[in-house]
Amino acid sequence: MLTIKEIAQRANVSRTTVSRVLNNSGYVSEKSRSAVLKVIEETGYVPSQHAQSLRTKKTKVIGVILPKISTETSSRLVKGIDEILSEAGYQILLANTNLAPEKEIENLRLLKSRHVDGIILSATNTEKELMEEIRELAIPFVAVGQNMPGFSHVVFDDYQAAKDAVQALIKRGHKEIAFIGVGESDPAVGVLRKKGYLDAMKENGLSVAASWVRTGIFDLESGRTCMKEIMESSEQRPTAVVAVTDRLAIVASQYLMEIGLDIPGDLAVVGMGASELSKFITPSLSTIDFMIEEAGKEAAGLILRMIDKDVSSSIKREVEHRFLQRDSI
Protein backbone atom coordinates (compact mmCIF):
# COMPACT_ATOMS: atom_id res chain seq x y z
CA MET A 1 0.00 0.00 0.00
CA LEU A 2 1.20 3.49 -0.84
CA THR A 3 2.33 5.84 1.90
CA ILE A 4 1.37 9.49 2.19
CA LYS A 5 4.92 10.35 1.18
CA GLU A 6 4.60 8.34 -2.05
CA ILE A 7 1.25 9.89 -2.87
CA ALA A 8 2.79 13.34 -2.32
CA GLN A 9 5.64 12.51 -4.69
CA ARG A 10 3.33 11.24 -7.44
CA ALA A 11 1.00 14.24 -7.07
CA ASN A 12 3.93 16.63 -6.82
CA VAL A 13 2.61 18.15 -3.59
CA SER A 14 3.70 18.19 0.05
CA ARG A 15 2.82 15.50 2.58
CA THR A 16 0.87 18.14 4.51
CA THR A 17 -1.30 18.76 1.45
CA VAL A 18 -2.05 15.05 1.10
CA SER A 19 -2.95 14.85 4.78
CA ARG A 20 -5.28 17.81 4.47
CA VAL A 21 -7.04 16.23 1.50
CA LEU A 22 -7.42 12.88 3.28
CA ASN A 23 -8.81 14.53 6.41
CA ASN A 24 -10.81 17.15 4.53
CA SER A 25 -9.30 19.88 6.71
CA GLY A 26 -7.25 22.99 6.10
CA TYR A 27 -6.79 24.96 2.88
CA VAL A 28 -5.82 23.11 -0.29
CA SER A 29 -5.96 24.63 -3.78
CA GLU A 30 -8.31 22.92 -6.22
CA LYS A 31 -5.37 22.05 -8.45
CA SER A 32 -3.50 20.29 -5.65
CA ARG A 33 -6.65 18.57 -4.36
CA SER A 34 -7.41 17.23 -7.85
CA ALA A 35 -3.84 15.95 -8.22
CA VAL A 36 -3.99 14.09 -4.92
CA LEU A 37 -7.40 12.59 -5.61
CA LYS A 38 -6.26 11.45 -9.04
CA VAL A 39 -3.34 9.52 -7.52
CA ILE A 40 -5.60 8.05 -4.85
CA GLU A 41 -8.07 6.77 -7.44
CA GLU A 42 -5.42 5.50 -9.84
CA THR A 43 -3.54 3.57 -7.16
CA GLY A 44 -6.51 2.33 -5.13
CA TYR A 45 -5.07 3.84 -1.97
CA VAL A 46 -8.60 4.10 -0.61
CA PRO A 47 -11.90 2.60 -1.83
CA SER A 48 -13.36 4.48 -4.75
CA GLN A 49 -16.38 5.37 -2.63
CA HIS A 50 -14.12 7.08 -0.12
CA ALA A 51 -12.33 8.93 -2.89
CA GLN A 52 -15.67 10.06 -4.22
CA SER A 53 -16.55 11.33 -0.76
CA LEU A 54 -13.37 13.33 -0.69
CA ARG A 55 -14.16 14.87 -4.06
CA THR A 56 -17.74 15.74 -3.27
CA LYS A 57 -17.07 16.51 0.41
CA LYS A 58 -19.90 14.10 1.27
CA THR A 59 -19.52 11.12 3.58
CA LYS A 60 -22.91 9.57 2.72
CA VAL A 61 -23.53 9.25 6.47
CA ILE A 62 -26.40 10.81 8.43
CA GLY A 63 -26.16 11.16 12.20
CA VAL A 64 -29.27 10.21 14.19
CA ILE A 65 -29.56 11.22 17.86
CA LEU A 66 -32.03 9.24 19.97
CA PRO A 67 -33.28 9.95 23.51
CA LYS A 68 -33.26 6.27 24.52
CA ILE A 69 -31.94 3.83 21.97
CA SER A 70 -33.53 0.79 23.61
CA THR A 71 -37.15 1.93 23.27
CA GLU A 72 -39.62 0.75 20.68
CA THR A 73 -40.30 4.33 19.62
CA SER A 74 -36.62 4.84 18.74
CA SER A 75 -36.55 1.53 16.87
CA ARG A 76 -39.56 2.48 14.77
CA LEU A 77 -38.16 5.93 14.04
CA VAL A 78 -34.82 4.50 12.90
CA LYS A 79 -36.58 1.91 10.74
CA GLY A 80 -38.41 4.66 8.87
CA ILE A 81 -35.27 6.77 8.52
CA ASP A 82 -33.16 3.87 7.29
CA GLU A 83 -35.74 2.78 4.71
CA ILE A 84 -35.42 6.11 2.91
CA LEU A 85 -31.71 6.75 3.46
CA SER A 86 -30.55 3.28 2.42
CA GLU A 87 -32.37 3.65 -0.90
CA ALA A 88 -30.34 6.82 -1.47
CA GLY A 89 -27.05 5.11 -0.60
CA TYR A 90 -26.69 6.64 2.86
CA GLN A 91 -25.71 4.99 6.12
CA ILE A 92 -26.78 5.91 9.66
CA LEU A 93 -24.53 6.74 12.62
CA LEU A 94 -26.54 6.45 15.86
CA ALA A 95 -25.96 8.40 19.06
CA ASN A 96 -27.83 7.93 22.36
CA THR A 97 -28.59 10.60 24.98
CA ASN A 98 -30.26 8.30 27.53
CA LEU A 99 -32.72 11.16 28.20
CA ALA A 100 -29.94 13.55 29.30
CA PRO A 101 -30.53 16.98 27.64
CA GLU A 102 -26.84 17.90 27.82
CA LYS A 103 -26.06 14.78 25.79
CA GLU A 104 -28.05 16.19 22.87
CA ILE A 105 -25.59 19.06 22.59
CA GLU A 106 -22.62 16.75 23.15
CA ASN A 107 -23.78 14.39 20.40
CA LEU A 108 -24.46 17.25 17.95
CA ARG A 109 -20.83 18.30 18.34
CA LEU A 110 -19.58 14.72 18.09
CA LEU A 111 -21.47 13.96 14.89
CA LYS A 112 -20.39 17.22 13.29
CA SER A 113 -16.77 16.32 14.07
CA ARG A 114 -17.36 13.02 12.24
CA HIS A 115 -18.25 15.03 9.12
CA VAL A 116 -21.74 13.58 8.71
CA ASP A 117 -23.76 15.05 5.84
CA GLY A 118 -26.70 15.86 8.09
CA ILE A 119 -28.21 15.24 11.52
CA ILE A 120 -31.67 14.04 12.57
CA LEU A 121 -32.45 14.68 16.24
CA SER A 122 -35.29 12.98 18.09
CA ALA A 123 -35.62 15.95 20.40
CA THR A 124 -36.80 16.03 24.02
CA ASN A 125 -36.49 19.77 24.66
CA THR A 126 -36.24 23.18 23.01
CA GLU A 127 -33.97 24.88 25.53
CA LYS A 128 -31.98 27.95 24.50
CA GLU A 129 -28.62 26.17 24.71
CA LEU A 130 -29.78 23.46 22.32
CA MET A 131 -31.21 25.97 19.85
CA GLU A 132 -27.95 27.91 19.80
CA GLU A 133 -25.95 24.74 19.20
CA ILE A 134 -28.17 23.78 16.26
CA ARG A 135 -27.69 27.24 14.72
CA GLU A 136 -23.92 26.70 14.87
CA LEU A 137 -24.06 23.37 13.00
CA ALA A 138 -23.95 24.76 9.46
CA ILE A 139 -25.06 21.36 8.09
CA PRO A 140 -28.53 20.04 7.19
CA PHE A 141 -30.58 19.38 10.33
CA VAL A 142 -34.05 17.98 11.04
CA ALA A 143 -35.71 17.63 14.45
CA VAL A 144 -38.38 15.04 15.19
CA GLY A 145 -40.99 15.36 17.92
CA GLN A 146 -40.60 19.02 18.93
CA ASN A 147 -41.79 22.22 17.31
CA MET A 148 -38.66 24.19 16.35
CA PRO A 149 -39.43 27.34 14.33
CA GLY A 150 -36.45 28.33 12.23
CA PHE A 151 -35.35 24.72 11.73
CA SER A 152 -36.80 21.86 9.73
CA HIS A 153 -38.86 19.60 11.96
CA VAL A 154 -41.32 16.72 11.86
CA VAL A 155 -43.94 16.85 14.60
CA PHE A 156 -47.02 15.09 15.92
CA ASP A 157 -50.19 16.84 17.02
CA ASP A 158 -49.63 15.98 20.68
CA TYR A 159 -52.28 18.45 21.84
CA GLN A 160 -55.05 17.01 19.66
CA ALA A 161 -53.96 13.45 20.39
CA ALA A 162 -54.51 13.99 24.10
CA LYS A 163 -57.89 15.58 23.42
CA ASP A 164 -58.84 12.59 21.27
CA ALA A 165 -57.92 10.19 24.08
CA VAL A 166 -60.07 12.10 26.58
CA GLN A 167 -62.93 12.40 24.11
CA ALA A 168 -62.91 8.64 23.54
CA LEU A 169 -63.37 8.12 27.27
CA ILE A 170 -66.13 10.73 27.51
CA LYS A 171 -68.00 8.97 24.71
CA ARG A 172 -67.88 5.83 26.86
CA GLY A 173 -69.59 7.73 29.68
CA HIS A 174 -66.57 8.73 31.79
CA LYS A 175 -66.53 12.09 33.57
CA GLU A 176 -63.89 11.60 36.27
CA ILE A 177 -60.73 11.20 34.18
CA ALA A 178 -57.22 11.28 35.67
CA PHE A 179 -53.96 12.08 33.91
CA ILE A 180 -50.37 10.80 34.21
CA GLY A 181 -47.88 13.08 32.47
CA VAL A 182 -44.18 13.93 32.45
CA GLY A 183 -42.14 17.04 33.18
CA GLU A 184 -42.66 20.22 31.19
CA SER A 185 -39.04 20.34 30.04
CA ASP A 186 -40.41 18.25 27.16
CA PRO A 187 -42.77 20.70 25.39
CA ALA A 188 -44.49 18.08 23.24
CA VAL A 189 -45.13 15.24 25.67
CA GLY A 190 -44.97 17.22 28.91
CA VAL A 191 -46.81 20.41 27.97
CA LEU A 192 -48.99 19.87 24.91
CA ARG A 193 -50.44 16.51 25.96
CA LYS A 194 -51.32 17.88 29.40
CA LYS A 195 -52.90 20.97 27.85
CA GLY A 196 -54.91 18.78 25.49
CA TYR A 197 -56.23 16.78 28.45
CA LEU A 198 -57.15 19.87 30.48
CA ASP A 199 -58.79 21.65 27.54
CA ALA A 200 -60.83 18.57 26.59
CA MET A 201 -62.12 18.30 30.15
CA LYS A 202 -62.96 22.01 30.28
CA GLU A 203 -64.66 22.04 26.88
CA ASN A 204 -66.91 19.21 28.05
CA GLY A 205 -67.78 20.98 31.30
CA LEU A 206 -65.89 18.44 33.43
CA SER A 207 -63.96 19.39 36.54
CA VAL A 208 -60.46 18.10 37.32
CA ALA A 209 -59.50 17.32 40.90
CA ALA A 210 -55.91 18.25 41.74
CA SER A 211 -55.29 14.72 42.99
CA TRP A 212 -56.14 13.29 39.57
CA VAL A 213 -53.14 14.88 37.82
CA ARG A 214 -49.68 13.45 38.42
CA THR A 215 -46.31 14.14 36.83
CA GLY A 216 -43.96 11.22 36.37
CA ILE A 217 -40.88 10.52 34.30
CA PHE A 218 -40.11 8.31 31.30
CA ASP A 219 -39.69 5.28 33.51
CA LEU A 220 -41.72 2.13 34.08
CA GLU A 221 -41.90 2.43 37.86
CA SER A 222 -43.18 5.99 37.50
CA GLY A 223 -46.46 4.69 36.11
CA ARG A 224 -47.04 2.63 39.24
CA THR A 225 -46.06 5.47 41.57
CA CYS A 226 -48.35 8.00 39.88
CA MET A 227 -51.30 5.66 39.71
CA LYS A 228 -50.87 4.72 43.37
CA GLU A 229 -50.79 8.39 44.37
CA ILE A 230 -53.96 9.11 42.40
CA MET A 231 -55.87 6.24 43.96
CA GLU A 232 -54.70 6.89 47.53
CA SER A 233 -55.07 10.69 47.56
CA SER A 234 -58.40 11.14 45.77
CA GLU A 235 -61.55 11.69 47.81
CA GLN A 236 -63.49 10.83 44.68
CA ARG A 237 -61.63 8.21 42.70
CA PRO A 238 -61.51 8.63 38.91
CA THR A 239 -63.20 6.15 36.60
CA ALA A 240 -60.55 6.48 33.87
CA VAL A 241 -56.95 7.57 33.34
CA VAL A 242 -54.95 8.84 30.38
CA ALA A 243 -51.17 8.32 30.42
CA VAL A 244 -48.84 10.13 28.02
CA THR A 245 -46.95 6.94 27.10
CA ASP A 246 -47.90 3.29 26.78
CA ARG A 247 -45.18 2.32 29.25
CA LEU A 248 -46.72 4.50 31.94
CA ALA A 249 -50.20 3.23 31.10
CA ILE A 250 -49.21 -0.45 31.16
CA VAL A 251 -47.55 -0.28 34.57
CA ALA A 252 -50.42 1.81 35.92
CA SER A 253 -52.75 -0.95 34.72
CA GLN A 254 -50.66 -3.58 36.49
CA TYR A 255 -50.96 -1.67 39.75
CA LEU A 256 -54.74 -1.33 39.39
CA MET A 257 -55.12 -5.07 38.86
CA GLU A 258 -52.80 -5.81 41.80
CA ILE A 259 -55.14 -3.93 44.14
CA GLY A 260 -58.08 -5.90 42.85
CA LEU A 261 -59.64 -3.50 40.36
CA ASP A 262 -61.08 -4.54 37.02
CA ILE A 263 -60.06 -2.85 33.76
CA PRO A 264 -62.18 -1.37 32.30
CA GLY A 265 -65.02 -2.25 34.71
CA ASP A 266 -63.66 -0.24 37.64
CA LEU A 267 -61.25 2.03 35.80
CA ALA A 268 -60.53 2.50 32.08
CA VAL A 269 -56.99 3.13 30.86
CA VAL A 270 -55.65 4.86 27.71
CA GLY A 271 -52.00 5.16 26.70
CA MET A 272 -50.11 6.84 23.87
CA GLY A 273 -47.59 5.34 21.46
CA ALA A 274 -49.21 2.18 20.05
CA SER A 275 -46.41 -0.07 21.30
CA GLU A 276 -46.35 -3.73 20.27
CA LEU A 277 -46.91 -4.73 23.89
CA SER A 278 -50.11 -2.68 24.03
CA LYS A 279 -51.76 -5.23 21.74
CA PHE A 280 -50.83 -8.27 23.77
CA ILE A 281 -51.36 -7.33 27.41
CA THR A 282 -54.64 -8.28 29.07
CA PRO A 283 -56.79 -6.33 28.62
CA SER A 284 -55.32 -4.89 25.42
CA LEU A 285 -54.51 -1.21 25.78
CA SER A 286 -56.41 1.53 23.97
CA THR A 287 -53.79 3.96 22.68
CA ILE A 288 -52.81 6.71 20.25
CA ASP A 289 -50.80 5.61 17.21
CA PHE A 290 -48.46 8.44 16.25
CA MET A 291 -47.20 6.72 13.07
CA ILE A 292 -43.58 6.91 14.27
CA GLU A 293 -42.19 5.06 11.27
CA GLU A 294 -43.83 7.56 8.92
CA ALA A 295 -42.21 10.37 10.91
CA GLY A 296 -38.83 8.72 10.31
CA LYS A 297 -39.49 8.57 6.59
CA GLU A 298 -40.53 12.24 6.53
CA ALA A 299 -37.39 13.27 8.43
CA ALA A 300 -35.13 11.27 6.11
CA GLY A 301 -36.79 12.70 3.03
CA LEU A 302 -36.36 16.22 4.36
CA ILE A 303 -32.68 15.77 5.20
CA LEU A 304 -31.95 14.40 1.71
CA ARG A 305 -33.72 17.32 0.06
CA MET A 306 -31.77 19.74 2.25
CA ILE A 307 -28.49 18.06 1.30
CA ASP A 308 -29.45 18.44 -2.36
CA LYS A 309 -30.55 22.03 -1.61
CA ASP A 310 -34.08 21.34 -2.91
CA VAL A 311 -35.75 22.90 0.14
CA SER A 312 -35.04 25.62 2.69
CA SER A 313 -33.71 24.90 6.17
CA SER A 314 -37.03 25.59 7.94
CA ILE A 315 -39.70 23.18 6.72
CA LYS A 316 -42.40 21.80 9.03
CA ARG A 317 -44.08 18.44 8.51
CA GLU A 318 -46.89 17.12 10.71
CA VAL A 319 -47.61 13.39 10.87
CA GLU A 320 -51.18 12.23 11.40
CA HIS A 321 -52.24 10.09 14.37
CA ARG A 322 -55.14 7.75 15.08
CA PHE A 323 -56.91 6.42 18.15
CA LEU A 324 -56.87 2.64 18.58
CA GLN A 325 -59.81 1.51 20.70
CA ARG A 326 -59.19 -1.78 22.48
CA ASP A 327 -60.37 -3.66 25.57
CA SER A 328 -59.07 -1.25 28.25
CA ILE A 329 -61.95 1.22 27.85
Measured CA to CA, the distance from residue 298 to residue 317 in angstroms comes to 7
Confidence class of residue 57 from pLDDT cuts 50, 70 and 90? low
- Indicate if the pLDDT at residue 48 is higher than 70: no
Segment 233-247 mean pLDDT: 96
- pLDDT bin (cut points 50, 70, 90) of residue 1 is low
What is the fold of 158-289? Rossmann fold (3.40.50)
Topology match between the domains 61-156+292-321 and 158-289: yes
Domain boundaries, given as residue ranges, for the chain: 4-56, 61-156+292-321, 158-289
Beta strands 213-216 and 286-289 are unpaired
Q: Give the confidence band of 46 by pLDDT, cuts at 50, 70, 90.
A: low
pTM of the model: 0.81
Find out whether 111 and 119 touch, Cβ atoms under 8 Å. yes
Q: CA 308 → CA 52, 56, 118, 303, distances in Å?
A: 16, 12, 11, 9
Question: pLDDT band at residue 129, thresholds of 50, 70 and 90?
Answer: very high
Average pLDDT over residues 275-298: 97
4-56: CATH class: mainly alpha
Taking only the tens place, the pLDDT of each residue in 131-145 is: 999 999 989 999 999
Under CATH, which architecture does the 61-156+292-321 domain have? Answer: 3-Layer(aba) Sandwich (3.40)
Q: What is the mean pLDDT of residues 275-290?
A: 97
Task: Give the contacts of 136 (CB within 8 A, at least 6 positions apart).
Answer: none
